[in-house]
Structure 1
């Protein structure tokens, strides 16, 4: 009598164990992860990493190309789940508004110690422009323009604030808004002709290898100290990690390095898609998967690391 009962107890315990494993995965409502890309190659790169891993786990990734202000609105409206490009302190105003409305949560700092401020080609700095206070006396050479990125971005607002403040004698200067690619095309043209240009620059980015540039000092009040030293965070709509704890755990653990992002952006510059570039990098550097996938399962509750490695053919 006792043995059959013991067998039944073991069977029930095993069944409960399997059920527990299945419950470790997310509900079907989490299967599609909605993400944003402002059109920046660094976020395209990190979204590429995330997309390949999500595919291997049985999720799908839906990326929308949205400006930074629209991204934060979409997060607040529950239209975007995760954004890998919360640059701080540049996005401070958006963060404060979102936190006041309880519409956003931070999951992780995914990259630290990056730079983001005004730069010039090095032949310009060698001619004496090393600080933003040096710009005004060379207004004619610069055509009184500061080249920024997408309209409405916090970075462009910082450039406009530098003009409006009167701190640097930039009255009459103009912020030229453009896409990242458009701005860099303008830098490339100026460099070929050895014309003077002042523009937004940041690292990680291939521009640091493709152009000989100098970051300007003096803009600490607008971009932060140490040449706009910044941290990049992963943020999500409020409640995402609670609604989708398995995917939330992945994004809490997914961090990057400057070297990783530069490597991926180099591949993008060579014409590869983000998915192909990320797949190639992860195939060549599979060790980065282990900390990302520690305790993470597939959508169906199977071991995540094994599934992603199999997805990559490892």
Structure 2
């Protein structure tokens, strides 16, 4: 099956040789949209553009990810959320190039509950039997806002639980299946919005700050990548996805349980979407 998909993808661009056997090192912070986009980039650069060894470096530390792109240890990070991560970007702006947003929709993020709970606002949470707020990696700006601003502002009695995103989603799956009351951190784009019927909670005190505002999802690349590797640069610069497309990509990856297999399957089923990125890369050689 994998061989068939590779042949189908290969038909998109014809002959290879564009990557000139180059490698690339992409950052992955573990968030699902980052997992999806980085693995899709790897699949298409290797399968279509003759790259060898496009590697994905996984780290839960957002600060070090920015520093490593700035120092050149990493070539690119494709999950820059602005204005959320603006302070981090400001620290490295002299040493990276910030590309245009790849996400064409409107982001949403905040505290959420399953729709079967009769709760619509953060200030109603203490009146429920929910004991935990299931969160993600502590380096996340949203986690910091919830822990340092939201919980004190609303005197929340729940315990904020730090966990890898995958661990948080496992708890959501388990608790949702048994219709228990719980609170968690949610965002869009993400496949959770397709799988579960959830409600983002109102924040009447605006304690989440900039996290309440729609954000841009974009990419930073190390300084000099445009000249050193114009093919990879052009590919990442051309990459763009709608909310439906990124949610579908994430859902396919989650369904396959293997990011590379899921990305390869999605690319084979969405040739019209990926073709312009590949053509942009070919034209940059």
- Please give the range of the TM-score, normalised by the shorter of the 2 chains: 0.7 to 0.9
Residue 269 of structure 1 and its aligned partner are, at CA, apart by 2.0
- TM-superposition CA deviations, 1:68-112 (whole Å, max 9, x none): 22311221232111111111222122112222xx23221220104
- Name the larger-Rg structure: 1
Confirm or deny that 1:131 pairs with 2:118: no
5+ residue gaps in structure 1?
1-24, 302-314
Q: Is the 8 A contact 2:19 2:51 kept in 1?
A: no
Match of 2:137 among 147, 150, 158: 150
* Structure-2 separation of matches of 1:175 and 1:93: 24
Match of 1:268 among 253, 256, 265: 253
Change (3 A) 1:263 1:163: closer
* Structure-1 separation of matches of 2:207 and 2:74: 31
Q: Is the 8 A contact 1:117 1:223 kept in 2?
A: no
Q: Is the 8 A contact 2:149 2:207 kept in 1?
A: no
- Quote the residue 1:169 is aligned against: 155
* Structure-1 separation of matches of 2:172 and 2:148: 22
Q: Is the 8 A contact 1:34 1:81 kept in 2?
A: yes
- Count of paired positions: 263
* Structure-1 separation of matches of 2:283 and 2:24: 14
Residue 183 of structure 1 and its aligned partner are, at CA, apart by 0.7
Residue 201 of structure 1 and its aligned partner are, at CA, apart by 0.6
- TM-superposition CA deviations, 1:34-90 (whole Å, max 9, x none): 101122222111112211221121223110111222311221232111111111222
- TM-score, normalization: structure 1? 0.75
Output aligned runs, 1:233-244, within 5 Å. Answer: 233-244=218-229
- Quote the residue 1:113 is aligned against: 106
* Root-mean-square deviation (Å): 2.4
SS in 2 for 1:266: helix
* Structure-2 separation of matches of 1:86 and 1:216: 24
SS in 1 for 2:137: coil
Match of 1:222 among 190, 203, 208: 208
Change (3 A) 1:113 1:223: farther
* Structure-1 separation of matches of 2:83 and 2:207: 11
- TM-score, normalization: structure 2? 0.83
Confirm or deny that 1:256 pairs with 2:203: no
Change (3 A) 1:250 1:200: same
* Structure-2 separation of matches of 1:48 and 1:77: 23
Change (3 A) 1:289 1:271: closer
- Quote the residue 1:59 is aligned against: 51
